[in-house]
Amino acid sequence: MTVIYFTDGALIDDAFVRRSLLRIPEVMTSVKSAENQFINCDLFLAMNEQDVFSKLNFHQKTHLKNVIQAALFNRWMKLDIEPDLILRRNDYGKFSDLKELFKKLSTIEELHVVTIGPGFDELEQFLRIQMRLTSNPISDVISTDPNLNWFWKDIKSQLQLHS
């Protein structure tokens, strides 16, 4: 069973990550298409500069994260893998509700969770440590893409140093 899981997109708050995401053609195209939805804002500047991104209000930041995640999802869909279930972290008020759902899903053989983040959130720790799922049940959409994983490994290692 393949579950698509949209994280809350917290990693997008980091300017280094946003700049790196612009290397993905689908993200660049989606940001360009969404630019007219942001009044008095240069989205490409917001993607590159932390102080410009910080000036976006909560709803603008949320919408930008949704635009980026939708672009990553559209890229993943080109792999012709139909997801069995799509979940969004933002649809669950409490993480405990999401944990209960994944406890039920973990009883299904060959559960595979693909996160649309980028990156992971507290779900990874829950699945790997608390649920003790060891058969690689979770992967990041960028890391699994053979055309993107070459630069994403470097980004993740630099992000740890950068943050």
Residues 61-117 have pLDDT tens digits of 999 999 999 999 999 999 888 999 999 999 998 999 999 998 888 887 788 899 998
Domain boundaries, the chain: 2-162
pLDDT band at 119 (very low <50, low <70, confident <90, very high): confident
Looking at the domain covering 2-162, what would its CATH class be? alpha beta
Concatenating the DSSP letter of every residue in 48-102 gives: H-HHHHHTS-HHHHHHHHHHHHHHHHHHHHTT----SEEEEGGG-SSHHHHHHHH
pLDDT band at 149 (very low <50, low <70, confident <90, very high): confident
Tokens representing 25 are 């053609």
pLDDT value of position 144: 83
pLDDT band at 45 (very low <50, low <70, confident <90, very high): very high
What residues have CB less than 8 Å from 92, skipping those under 6 apart? 98
Virtual CA dihedral for 90, 56, 59, 157, nearest 10 degrees? -10
